[in-house]
Amino acid sequence: MYDETTRGALIPRMIGAAKLDVATYDEVEHDRGATGQAAAVVAMVAVASAVGGAGAGAGGIIGGLISAFFGWFVWSAVTYVIGDKLLGGTATWGELLRTIGFAQAPGVLYVFAALPGGFLIRFFVAVWILLAGIVAIREALDFSTGKAILTAVLGWFVMVFIMAILLAPAALVG
């Protein structure tokens, strides 16, 4: 996927992650300097989602960024506990932050959700991100696809539950 001129570059890594390229996930897993790039991916996806939501305004973008980062941290932490501590995988939380951050790369397409049929785009992209998350988790934790699916789905449900509890007060106020 890479040659010496593109190794470590953000955009080629995002493309590789979106293509579910195992070598890309292995590379970012082992590159401790890629955590900032993973955060940049999450930020780009949050902004694309806000733009795709059309009419969210600055508050929507800021709220989207905060929830995107918080969701990324929570999903990575929960995945770490489930995959590493309960199912016997081998990864650090940093490795999961990097790989799961890059798994968000297809989310830049959320920018097109403002088009007619945008709900279908959001659905398709969400499924794509889940598949990328499974690859990311499998590679970071070094275990089977079955365990990666179980870890991803359980981690996602726990993350959604935690986010719902934390965001419920804001929904009641707004």
Domain ranges in the chain are: 10-173
Contacts of 99 by beta carbon, 8 Å cutoff, 6+ apart: 25, 28, 29, 38, 136, 137, 139, 140
Q: Could you report the per-residue pLDDT of 4-59, keeping only the tens digit for each?
A: 445 689 999 999 999 999 999 999 999 999 999 999 999 999 888 888 776 656 66
Q: Are 97 and 131 in contact (CB under 8 A)?
A: no
Alpha helices (H) in the chain, listed in sequence order: 10-18, 22-30, 35-52, 57-80, 93-103, 118-141, 145-173
Check residue 92 and report its DSSP letter.
-
For the chain, the first-to-last Cα distance in angstroms comes to: 46
Number of neighbours of residue 7 by Cβ within 10 angstroms = 12
pTM: 0.86
Q: Could you report the per-residue pLDDT of 103-156, keeping only the tens digit for each?
A: 999 999 988 888 888 889 989 999 999 999 999 999 999 999 999 999 999 988
Contacts of 111 by beta carbon, 8 Å cutoff, 6+ apart: 48, 49, 51, 52
